[in-house]
Chains A and B, each alone.
Chain A
């Protein structure tokens, strides 16, 4: 009887552990994406403290998300303070598309970022745009999370 109780409790604990760990892992993988837009920070670098260098996009989209606009406003503020800095916006697509269309899509994404920076007072003279299409992924994996990290526009200091 006692043994039975111990076994039963152990079993419950094991089940609870399994449930928790399953929960933890699934949270981890979905927690980095909203819809299919990457929201994590794994690949993000910083132009200056608190100024992330990149924004992410949904599949086949070039619309800036709320988070992307916030990032770009920080970049614009930093660029206004550092008025000598010129930048290249590098637009990228994931591997799930044809090469030439993705070149155009990368260009469109980088230009979406450029337009937004311009509305916050950054002169187009300081911005150039370069599309890599799907040629330069940051994550070489073939899964939705990797693809979400690769759909991006990265602001790179040019001087």
Chain B
């Protein structure tokens, strides 16, 4: 990606031959790019057929709304009001009248069409640079009609990638813990939804306590902690089949699980006689390896994306701090030295940063630091929040936040929030119930 060292967020290079739009995502969102998302055009026959299959009056408009909503929540784009559009969707897709789009201040334009071809949904879409009067991208693809929301996410990913130079994160899902009931008897269920909150589905019934679900970065597997039969153990769950199994045969509590970047191992804590250490288990040959051996609490391990290092949480200095070590447990180094306590380190998929939760003077912060501990930046402060999880492109963090109870223990709620790495664009992620412990999947369509 080309980085442009100017304070202006979106740069358009005028009069150059390849003067195409470029979005700089390394800076805060001060000037989102005005973009027009023309509804995907649809022929009358296809419209009627889709209406029968999907109960949606105009699937072209529905898909465009998904795209629009994605672009808006990214904070990098400002989708313009459709009422101001002068050109009809079908004509615009053939050849936009750029003057008309420039008139409403659009800098980029998305057009396209959707049709039913042999029972499949076929979409083509184009991205246009309005000011340069050029087509930037044209793509077509075919899928089953029920995948229509994913089509919207894939279009957004392609547009995002073309304009920012980085992979998108829209065709993804979030697994999290859905919560209900009073704090003293909280009921928790595993739930999964699309990144934008659609297609919410519960995976467990709430009969036993479940915590900390995490995606396998290479498949639709999840690892999590379940109190099934009052034995807190790390489990493995296949989201497609619903199959669950205990990970390893440990005599005591196993917790804080995560996958290795290649998806072949689970790294977790095992607690014995009041002491928690870090172990891995190979999912193919089931070999268990001990990684740390220290009388302190060692937990919340997370691999670097190349699998060579592990960051983790330990109180070996007396209080919770963040450490890194080689994958075999050698060369343990403390990296957090700021004021307060540090927990939940998570290595960025880009490799350069570690996200964490920090507790200081009664406040909780979500922050990031470089992998040597330098450059600490706190992104958000609140009464209580924790558990950041990275978007697959390493640009956005999702975490959860609880509001304080009053003196009677009421008024409490837990919700998911997302924030850009820049510290801008903090947003509530909609969930049907209270929610905690979010984990972001990899891109589904890669």
Pairwise interchain contact A141-B274, C-beta atoms closer than 8 A:
no
Q: CB-defined interface of A85-105 with B at 8 Å, one 1/0 digit per residue? A: 000000000011111110111
For A131, list chain B residues within 8 Å (CB).
232, 253, 271
Contacts A131-B232, A142-B404 given; does A104 touch B184 at CB 8 Å: no
B211 within 8 A of A: yes
Q: A100-B343, A137-B183 are in contact. List 14 more A-B contacts (CB 8 A).
A: A96-B359, A97-B359, A99-B211, A99-B212, A101-B300, A103-B271, A104-B269, A108-B274, A135-B186, A135-B211, A141-B407, A141-B408, A142-B409, A143-B407
Q: Can you list 6 A-B contacts (CB < 8 A)?
A: A96-B359, A101-B320, A131-B271, A141-B406, A143-B407, A146-B409
For B252, list chain A residues within 8 Å (CB).
107, 129
What are the 8 closest A-B residue pairs judged by CB atoms, nearest first? Answer: A111-B274, A140-B409, A98-B343, A140-B183, A104-B276, A104-B297, A100-B256, A108-B274
Contacts A107-B253, A135-B186, A142-B405 given; does A98 touch B232 at CB 8 Å: no
A73 within 8 A of B: no
A residues touching B (Cβ–Cβ < 8 Å)? 60, 62, 95-101, 103-105, 107-108, 110-112, 114-115, 129-132, 135-143, 146
Interface of B, secondary structure class, is: mixed
For B344, list chain A residues within 8 Å (CB).
98-100
A110 to B276, CA, bound (A): 13
B76 within 8 A of A: no
B358 (CB) vs chain A CBs: closest residue:
A98
B residues touching A (Cβ–Cβ < 8 Å)? 182-186, 209, 211-212, 225, 230, 232, 252-253, 255-256, 269, 271, 273-276, 297, 299-300, 313, 315, 319-320, 341, 343-344, 357, 359, 362, 383-384, 386-387, 402, 404-410, 412, 437
Pairwise interchain contact A98-B357, C-beta atoms closer than 8 A:
yes
Pairwise interchain contact A103-B256, C-beta atoms closer than 8 A:
yes
A129 to chain B, nearest CB (A): 7
For A62, list chain B residues within 8 Å (CB).
274
For B437, list chain A residues within 8 Å (CB).
99
For B320, list chain A residues within 8 Å (CB).
97-98, 101
For B407, list chain A residues within 8 Å (CB).
141, 143
For A142, list chain B residues within 8 Å (CB).
383-384, 404-405, 409, 412
Pairwise interchain contact B232-A130, C-beta atoms closer than 8 A:
yes
Pairwise interchain contact B405-A141, C-beta atoms closer than 8 A:
yes
B105 to chain A, nearest CB (A): 45
For A104, list chain B residues within 8 Å (CB).
255, 269, 271, 276, 297, 299
Interface of A, secondary structure class, is: mixed
For B271, list chain A residues within 8 Å (CB).
103-104, 107, 131
Interface centre among A97, A103, A114 (most CB of B within 10 A): A103
B436 (CB) vs chain A CBs: closest residue:
A99
A39 to chain B, nearest CB (A): 20
A124 (CB) vs chain B CBs: closest residue:
B273
Contacts A99-B386, A105-B297 given; does A139 touch B409 at CB 8 Å: yes
A5 to chain B, nearest CB (A): 42
For B276, list chain A residues within 8 Å (CB).
104, 107-108
A135 to B211, CA, bound (A): 9
Pairwise interchain contact A100-B313, C-beta atoms closer than 8 A:
yes
For A105, list chain B residues within 8 Å (CB).
297
Pairwise interchain contact B319-A101, C-beta atoms closer than 8 A:
no
A100 to B274, CA, bound (A): 14
For A137, list chain B residues within 8 Å (CB).
183-184
For B362, list chain A residues within 8 Å (CB).
96
A101 to B256, CA, bound (A): 9
A135 to chain B, nearest CB (A): 6
Interface centre among B209, B276, B359 (most CB of A within 10 A): B276
Contact of B232 among A103, A110, A114, A140 (CB under 8 A): A103
For A101, list chain B residues within 8 Å (CB).
297, 299-300, 313, 315, 320, 343
Interface centre among A100, A105, A107 (most CB of B within 10 A): A100
A81 to B193, CA, bound (A): 54
A105 to B296, CA, bound (A): 10
A108 to B276, CA, bound (A): 9
For A99, list chain B residues within 8 Å (CB).
211-212, 344, 386-387, 437
For A114, list chain B residues within 8 Å (CB).
274
A105 to B225, CA, bound (A): 16
For A60, list chain B residues within 8 Å (CB).
319
For B405, list chain A residues within 8 Å (CB).
140-142
Contact of A98 among B209, B275, B386 (CB under 8 A): B386
